Amino acid sequence: MSGSELVAEKISVTFATRRHDPGHRALTDVSLRVGKGEIVGLVGESGSGKSTLGRVIVGLQESYTGSVRFDGETLAHRRTIAQRRAIQMVFQDPYASLDPQMTVWQMLEELLVVHRIGGTREARRERCGELMRLVHMPAGLLDVRPAGMSGGQRQRVAIARALAVDPRLVVADEATSALDVSVQAGIINLFADLRDKIGLSILFISHNLAVVRSLCDRVAVICQGEIVEVAATQAIFDAPQHDYTRQLLAAAPDLP
């Protein structure tokens, strides 16, 4: 499967936390493009609306204004099953996003069955083994439930689940934050390979600027619900234009 172009235009989202509350504006007129076979980094303040934008794009946040186009087609707020398959998300908090009752195998198999992928049970089992290998997980953990895994293992399960259905766009929300640096390196290389070989598009949300720098083609910087700067990765790191971008770069720790 190959990647596709995503265009989000003037997306706004407002949440009301209390009754009679004018509401909290999480996103204000955010526009962003992720090209076919492109990895775009989304970095910025905590609470600035990154996960909310991700949820709008994958169709989980149904109340928003603005439009989401994918391959030239405007997506309805409620998605078809094919659209849901094409755009997958790796959630920020794996523990909350995985079903505690199911083993990894049961979770992945259910997904493959829903999307009619894999043919026989044996073929599906083989595919799941291959997925585990891709995300650097020992195959032995296929039959384990989330509670029996470490944080980083759960996160890799979440990545495997997103990749299981051959998506064309992946929204990766802090998808490598729980991985040690050597496994993280493996996942970064995997994402880069999927982009280069099959043209997968990725919106890569992360607080880790060094990872963003080594993986992304372009970077968007978001602050308080608005995108303040978008540029090629090298330009962002070498010549940041916006004050907030400069602040971020100045605060990033690095090894001595």
Residues that bind Mg ion (CB under 5 A): 51, 92, 150-151
| C-beta closer to Mg ion: residue 88 or 92 | 92
Q: Which of residues 171-190 bind another protein (CB under 8 A)?
A: 173-174, 177-186, 188-189
Report the residue number whose CB is nearest to ligand ATP: 152
Nearest approach in angstroms of CB 192 to another protein is: 8
**Span of 32-40, 147-155, 193-201, 226-234 interacting with ligand ATP by CB under 6 A:** 147-155
Give the Å distances, CA to CA, from 241 to 9, 120, 228, 245, 249. Answer: 23, 54, 9, 7, 11
Binding mask 110-149 for another protein (x = CB under 8 A): --------------------------xxx-xx--x--xxx
Q: What is the DSSP string of 115-150?
A: TT-SSSHHHHHHHHHHHHHHTT--GGGGG--GGGS-
Token digits of residue 153: 């293992």
Which positions ≥6 away from 91 have C-beta within 8 Å?
97, 158, 173
Which positions ≥6 away from 172 have C-beta within 8 Å?
89, 90, 159, 162, 191, 202, 203, 204, 205, 206
Binding site for another protein (CB under 8 A): 15, 17-18, 24, 43-47, 50-51, 92-96, 136-138, 140-141, 144, 147-153, 156, 173-174, 177-186, 188-189, 192, 207-211, 213-214, 237, 247-249, 251-256
